[in-house]
Amino acid sequence: TWGHLLGCVAALASFVLGLALFVQMLGRSDAERTVHQELFTWVPVQGLNVEFGIQLDQLSMCFVLLITGVGSLIHIYSVGYMKDDPERRLFFGYLNLFLAAMLILVLADNYLGLYLGWEGVGLASYLLIGFWQHKPTAATAAKKAFMVNRVGDTGLAIAMMIMFATFGSISFADVFGTVDDTSEGVLTAIGLMLLLAACGKSAQVPLQSWLGDAMEGPTPVSALIHAATMVTAGVYLIVRSDAIFDLAPNAQLAVAIVGAVTLLFGAIIGCAKDDIKKALAASTMSQIGYMVLAAGLGPAGYAFAIMHLLTHGFFKAGLFLGAGSVMHAMNDEVNMRRYGGLRKLLPITFITFGFGYLAIIGIPPFAGFFSKDKIIEAAFADNLALGIVTLLGAGITAFYMTRVMIMTFFGERRWDDTAHPHEAPNVMVWPMIILAIGSLTSGALLTAGSSLQNWLAPVWSGSAEHHELGIPIWLLTVITLAVVLVGVAIAYRQYGTRTVPAEAPEEVGVLTTAARRDLYGDAFNEAAFMRPGQQATRALVVVDERGIDGAVTGIPKVIDASSRELRKVQTGFVRSYALTMLAGVLFVTAAMLLVVVR
């Protein structure tokens, strides 16, 4: 009966320990802040010796506090959300597994330890997305997330193989310490494989298709995956491998391009989703795209990628928990077209969700304004095309998030009499309030005096190159806010001044249709990979059955048929045998005479 409380205590204890270690780290100089400990010999084989070691530095400390802090709030929220679920203890066990695997991932001092945590979060996501496996959609979504991530995981495995073949080791210290003597081609290959891995875990194009379906899991799972754990793993992998990407400019450019494409890809999808959780999932895909793009800018963008990752952890967790509160009040209804006017009935949810909304669209002084604007500035300073993409993404984000706010909390009520909207219990409300405070304050705290940049500076192998922006920063900030306000105004005009129909219109434009179908991501995967894979499998079955199996079974069949035919000469009549013997004698005699004559 107290299993859920044990799960919460485990998460909170990890956060308290992380906080204590953070305070200790603050008291040391930059050179002494990294804590390294080898626990035991893990892989003692000839040519490869891997110690199971942990490494706590400024980068991993950021993730430890995010994972355990936001994770603990989600655990507490889940006490109320999963109150009536008969498998609540199992659910909290899975949540603890998720946090533990993510901590292993960010604390490992080598790529094999990272890979262990990497697979652990993949397993935990499978178990949690499919937690209500009695629903066919949940079971299918869990399998889809698991399989798509296996593709990315193959990239990480291949990267480790190349590292071992090149460096003879897969520890961070050995790999990063010898990259200067490695050819650019090898480092590019490693970088591209690491990018493939990051695309899987962080739902970046072309491995983004699992993220929307992952909403079939309980809402606290969505908050955990999207804010504190799984989707941040890909960003961590790229910035942790900065020494590799800094010396492989082509791989680094590929990272920036993938982030830019996904940024717009997710934003466009979010514009057409009526399911509140899927709209937020699309926004996660887009916001992680911002982080990946920043990571692709090299030392000039690494710190900003982490900054946006941390602020995103607050406001995205708050948004998902707010969505869960709305669903809790609306009999698990997820269609925003069946909401409307909920701000008066759910005032706390409205305010906390509103804080997350203002943060994600980048309104000052909320967190997203500080972190996202830094990425926009760095993108414009590095490349005009990337800068335009980030600016356009900010406008589209403002549009679809305003759409979510209006359809959910404003306008006339569109729900039926079976729903009785009410505020969530305190155990769910307080985590939302704390996350809302983080959505307001975290950005200013992380940027004050370049605090996060200075904190992370010793981690990067290269120094940041400051490119000239070309225009004053204040002017770019004004332009960005203007674009955001245009997005808000368009959404208000379309949804705030008109009646929102309870059913989605069937006759819509080509772009809306494409966005509703996730820009045909599943259709592309089916056409490009699934159908050819099925045909290849059928061809291999034919080769196996008629070729390999045919050769194995054909020999005894030939022997059997030959035996049957040979058996026919055994008639049982003496005269037949005498005739056969006479024929044989005559044949031998004739042959001998022929030899003598010659």
- pLDDT confidence bin for 565, thresholds 50/70/90: confident
Q: Which residue has the higher pLDDT, 154 or 555?
A: 154
Mean pLDDT of 237-259: 96
pLDDT given for residue 466 in this prediction: 65
* pLDDT per residue as tens digits for the range 410-428: 988 888 888 889 899 999 9
Q: What is the pLDDT of residue 509?
A: 85
Range of weakest confidence among 6-20, 334-348, 538-552? 538-552
**For residues 463 and 483, what is the distance between their CA atoms, to the nearest angstrom?**
32
Write the DSSP string, 95-125: HHHHHHHHHHHHHBSBHHHHHHHHHHHHHHH
Find the helix or strand (DSSP H, E) in which 51 lies. strand 48-56
Structure token pair of residue 225: 């995956």
**Closest by alpha carbon to 218, among 308, 319, 133, 101?**
133
Question: Across residues 250-257, what is the average pLDDT?
Answer: 97
Residue with tokens 């909920």: 342
Band (pLDDT 50/70/90 cuts) for residue 461 is confident
Indicate the pTM of the whole model: 0.90
pLDDT of residue 579: 85
Characterise 280 by phi-psi region: left (phi > 0), alpha (psi -120 to 50), beta (else).
Answer: alpha
Residue type, 396: I
Span 50-78, pLDDT tens digits: 999 999 999 999 999 999 999 999 999 99
Among residues 365, 367, 389, which one has the least CA distance to residue 378? 389
Are residues 326 and 437 in contact, defined by beta-carbon separation less than 8 angstroms? no
Q: Residue 360 burial (CB < 10 Å; 0-12/13-18/19+)?
A: buried
Separation between Cα atoms, residue 159 and residue 351, nearest integer Å: 46
Q: In the structure, what pLDDT confidence band is assigned to residue 548 with cuts at 50, 70 and 90?
A: confident
Phi/psi region, residue 471 (left: phi>0; alpha: psi -120 to 50; beta: rest), is: beta
* pLDDT tens profile 156-179: 999 999 999 999 999 999 999 999
Helices (H) and strands (E) in the chain, counts: 25, 2
Please choose, from the candidates 314, 401, 415, 433, the residue with its C-alpha nearest in 3D space to the C-alpha of residue 366.
314
The whole-angstrom separation of Cα 550 and Cα 507 is 55
For 19, counting Cβ atoms within 10 Å of its Cβ (0-12 exposed, 13-18 middle, 19+ buried), the class is middle
| Alpha-helix residue ranges (DSSP H) falling in 448-472 | 451-456
pLDDT tier at 567, thresholds 50, 70, 90: confident
What would the pLDDT profile of 294-344 be if each residue is shown by its tens digit?
Answer: 999 999 899 999 999 999 999 999 999 999 999 999 988 999 999 999 999
Q: What is the mean pLDDT of the chain?
A: 93
Residue 465 has what pLDDT?
A: 65
Whole-number percent of the chain with pLDDT over 90: 78
pLDDT in the model for residue 507:
77
* 370-374, 472-476, 521-525, 563-567: least confidently modelled range: 563-567
Percent of the chain whose pLDDT exceeds 70:
99
Q: Is the pLDDT of residue 598 over 80?
A: no
Give the 3-state secondary structure of residue 203.
Answer: coil
d(CA 394, CA 359): 12
The answer to whether 103 and 141 have CB atoms below 8 angstroms apart is no
Is the predicted pLDDT of residue 464 greater than 80, yes or no? no
Query: Does residue 252 or residue 563 have the better pLDDT?
Result: 252
- Confidence check: pLDDT of 31 > 90: no
21 Cβ neighbours under 8 A, 6+ residues apart: 35, 56, 61, 64
How far apart, in whole angstroms, are the C-alpha atoms of residue 202 and residue 192? 15
Residue 408 predicted with pLDDT over 90:
yes
How far, in Å, CA of 293 to CA of 315, rounded? Answer: 20
Average pLDDT over residues 368-391: 95
> Which two tokens mark 194?
């690491």
